Amino acid sequence: MGAKIVTTIITVLIGVGAALALYWVLNKIAELLPGRWEGRVKPFLYILPAYAAITFYLIYPAIRTVFYSFKDASSTNWVGWQNYHDLLTQHTFQQTLINTLLWMLIVPVVTVALGLGVAVLADRLTARGESTAKTLVFMPMAISFVGAGTIWRFIYAYRPEGQPQVGIQNAIVTAFGGSPIPWLEQSQFHINSLFLMIMLLWAQVGFSMVLLSAAIKGVPVDTLEAARIDGANERQIFFSVVVPQIWGTIMTVFVTTLISVMKIFDIVYVMTNGNFNTNVLGNEFFNQLFTNFNNGAASAIVAMLMLATIPIMAYQVRHFRHEEAMG
């Protein structure tokens, strides 16, 4: 234990020292330039390490992934659009796309709605009651998706009729005289995918609540009092006064959750591994790469995810710029 602590301290010191040395060298390089050029170039030199890291760890791997998506399973021979054609014409992959789309349509909307509802209700409690309620709702955020998936597997666990039910839901069902239900195997109408979404909602509502609660508390009291004087009821005040003023935060929570959902993997992998028609793109990428050893198909899936994420990120950037301009 002591050796690990010493190693950690030495690593931190070396990292900090290397960063200080790097910026000292960059500053000296800037000082060698003529007077006015020093002031112009120095800011770019200071952000150079950050841009270099982004290029090396993000842009370069993204470009390489796109190239590999046009190669075969071993990433040696060019196959053109074959990987995309093979994936998009497979019935199983089409179902994977539908499942991913359902996650994208349902989870962000419900996360925002529940987070907003909890934030509003919690704000009406006493200070002590509010902190307790928010702590309980936020607590699942401290659990990893793998850990949460393991917990919820026991909630949905199924044993054949006549055997002891270790799953909470089936224990309740059988206690009232019903037959145990294989919850995660109910693929009709994607019901089992909805059960997986419930787990993610349980874990994400706390994040939504914290941001939206802070935004609600930031709404000027004068606007609320003015609406009450004009005869507006609490429902009208909420939807016509509060929501428009916190719309920026609502969209931030929505987009952040949407991007998280698009690359969801842990929950599906731990609870079903994509079986029973619950597969999503993140899990399919993992299976293609580490089970089928098909680098081309795995890269094509990542390329499609990146392509779908770009418009969302572009909207988010425009939204932030608009918010800054309005502020």
Is residue 76 in some structural domain?
no
Token pair for 85: 């054609």
Number of domains in the chain: 2
- For 117, 187, 275, 307, the CA distances from 50, given in Å and listed in that order, are 39, 46, 41, 24
Is residue 250 in some structural domain?
yes
Residues 322 and 204 in one domain: yes
Is residue 57 in some structural domain?
yes
The tens digit of pLDDT for each residue in 156-207 reads: 999 988 888 888 999 999 988 888 999 998 888 889 999 999 999 998 899 9
Residues 222 and 114 in one domain: yes
Residues 62 and 99 in one domain: no
Give the integer Cα–Cα distance in Å for 319 and 91: 37
Residues 293 and 224 in one domain: yes
Residue 110 makes CB contacts below 8 A (sequence gap 6+) with 197, 201
Give the integer Cα–Cα distance in Å for 160 and 299: 40
**CATH code, domain carrying 155:** 1.10.3720.10
Contact 209, 115 (CB under 8 A): yes
Give the integer Cα–Cα distance in Å for 264 and 249: 22
Residues 117 and 202 in one domain: yes
Taking alpha carbons only, the member of 205, 197, 213, 199 closest to residue 138 is 205
Is the pLDDT confidence value at 35 over 90?
Answer: no
The total number of residues shown for the chain amounts to 327
Token pair for 149: 């998936």
Domain boundary among 42, 68, 94: 68
With cut-offs at 50, 70 and 90, classify the pLDDT of residue 127: confident
Half-sphere exposure (CA, 13 Å, Cβ side) for 22? 13
Q: Where are the beta strands (DSSP E) in 201-310?
A: none
Token pair for 279: 């597969």
Is the pLDDT confidence value at 327 over 70?
Answer: no
Residues 56 and 95 in one domain: no
Give the integer Cα–Cα distance in Å for 71 and 297: 9
Cβ count within 10 A of residue 142: 10
Taking alpha carbons only, the member of 100, 202, 96, 206 closest to residue 152 is 202
Residues 33 and 142 in one domain: no
Residues 42 and 120 in one domain: no
Give the integer Cα–Cα distance in Å for 20 and 22: 5
Residues 195 and 273 in one domain: yes
pTM, entire model: 0.86
Token pair for 95: 């179902």
Residue 117 makes CB contacts below 8 A (sequence gap 6+) with none
The tens digit of pLDDT for each residue in 279-320 reads: 999 999 999 999 999 999 999 999 999 888 888 888 878 877
The tens digit of pLDDT for each residue in 61-74 reads: 999 999 999 999 99
Residues 239 and 106 in one domain: yes
Is residue 29 in some structural domain?
yes
Average pLDDT of the chain is: 89
Domain boundary among 68, 100, 118: 68
Please give the pLDDT value at position 43. Answer: 83
Can you tell me which residue has the tokens 């949905």?
156
Q: Which helix H or strand E contains 218, and what residues bound it?
A: none
- Domain of residue 247: give its range: 86-326
Is residue 139 in some structural domain?
yes
Please give the pLDDT value at position 87. Answer: 94
Residues 243 and 310 in one domain: yes
The tens digit of pLDDT for each residue in 82-94 reads: 999 999 999 999 9
Is residue 73 in some structural domain?
no
Is residue 75 in some structural domain?
no
R_g (Cα) of the chain, nearest Å: 26
Is residue 203 in some structural domain?
yes
Residues 132 and 56 in one domain: no
Give the integer Cα–Cα distance in Å for 121 and 111: 15
With cut-offs at 50, 70 and 90, classify the pLDDT of residue 19: confident
The tens digit of pLDDT for each residue in 258-268 reads: 988 988 998 99
Please give the pLDDT value at position 193. Answer: 92
